[in-house]
């Protein structure tokens, strides 16, 4: 489960990338929600965008990446793979900036199909 969260905790993009093998349904949402406070606290004190694993719930981990404009990328996963996740986040971040550069882009209306394809390809390359 991968989620992009914008200003005022509005979710902007959501994708199921198969990083948790067990079927946990909406538990994903709760885990990410619970980790948000920790992410905000760590992001305020760290110059790094990649915060590594910020929270853990049983065997499920949450990794986070906070951009300069305070857009949060959060990934729920069940295996440790720090470098893969870092590369995945960096790739998504770059595509996110490309989307932002489009003057017609509107955060509320969300991301277009090509962005979705890019994220899924990045997941195939770095996460599985």
Footprint of other proteins on this chain (CB under 8 A)? 44-50, 66-71, 90, 93-102, 114-115, 118
Of the pair 10, 97, the CB lying nearest other proteins is at 97
Picking from 6, 58, 52, 13, the residue whose alpha carbon sits closest to that of residue 31 is: 58
Query: How far apart are CB 45 and other proteins at their closest, in Å?
Result: 7
Minimum CB separation of residue 55 from other proteins in Å reads: 21
User: Within 13 Å of residue 51, how many CA atoms lie on the same side as its CB?
Assistant: 27
Shortest distance, position 103 Cβ to other proteins, whole Å: 9
Residue found by looking up tokens 């509005």 in the block: 10
Q: Count Cβ atoms below 10 Å from residue 28 Cβ, excluding itself.
A: 18
**Three-state SS at 69:** coil
Residue 28 or 93: which CB sits closer to other proteins?
93
């Amino acid at each position: 489960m991968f989620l992009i969260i914008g200003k005022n905790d509005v979710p902007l993009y959501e994708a199921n990338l198969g990083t948790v093998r067990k079927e946990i349904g909406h538990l994903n949402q709760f885990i990410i929600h619970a980790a948000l406070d920790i992410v905000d606290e760590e992001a305020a004190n760290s110059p790094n965008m990649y915060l590594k694993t910020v929270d853990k719930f049983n065997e499920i981990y949450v990794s986070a990446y906070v951009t300069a404009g305070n857009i949060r990328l959060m990934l729920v996963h069940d295996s440790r793979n720090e470098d893969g996740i870092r590369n995945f986040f960096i790739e998504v971040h770059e595509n996110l900036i490309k989307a932002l550069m489009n003057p017609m882009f509107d955060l509320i209306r969300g991301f277009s199909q090509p962005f979705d394809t890019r994220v899924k390809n990045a997941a195939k390359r770095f996460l599985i």
